[in-house]
Amino acid sequence: MKLAIGNDHTGVAMKNEIMAWLKEKGIEVVNVGTDSTERFDYAVSGYRIARLVADGEVDGGIAICGTGIGISLAANKVRGIRACVCSEPYSARLSKMHNNSNIIAFGARVVGVEMAKMIVEEWLSASFEGGRHARRVAQIMEIEETQHLKAAEQE
């Protein structure tokens, strides 16, 4: 497995801890975030992670900023990306099972490193369930592709 990881200036220490932990597990990690605590725009890292995921260069992405919000918003602007901000493991698991998330995001100012590891662990061990969830994810993609949703515009 190969993951992209990225961050802004708020997430350097957490990124380093998560990267080291993933490598211990034998997971390859591509670091596209900043390694400096000088201010760094989260959209740059969010885009870089999303690009690698959308292009199939990696199997998924981990995005870290202060809250996880800005970096996930940026990543979600890339076609095919479903970046989900999660502050606990239950939502992380469900984001994969129901929403087929391909990037998990969290806030370095919101969760501690041990919670972040649990979030990543649950997300990595979950699988998309498909079925009725596939229809709903397809609807999200339809909005992304067409800026419309037929199911909402009928009647």
Residue positions annotated with a catalytic role: 65, 98
Query: DSSP characters for 29-51?
Result: EEE-S--SSS---HHHHHHHHHH
Binds ligand RB5 by CB under 6 A, chosen from 27, 30, 43, 69: 69
CA 144 to chain centre: 17
- Binding of residue 46 to ligand RB5 (CB under 6 A): no
- Binding of residue 6 to ligand RB5 (CB under 6 A): no
Instruction: Give the SS3 label for residue 60.
Output: strand
- Binding of residue 92 to ligand RB5 (CB under 6 A): no
Closer to ligand RB5 by Cβ: residue 19 or 63? 63
Q: How far apart are the first and last CA of the chain?
A: 45
Q: Do 20 and 31 form a contact (C-beta atoms < 8 A)?
A: no
Q: Which residues pair with 4 in a beta bridge?
A: 30, 61
- Binding of residue 67 to ligand RB5 (CB under 6 A): yes
Binds ligand RB5 by CB under 6 A, chosen from 14, 65, 103, 104: 65
CB of 147 to ligand RB5, least distance (A): 25
* Positions in the binding site for ligand RB5 (CB under 6 A): 8, 10, 42, 65-67, 69-70
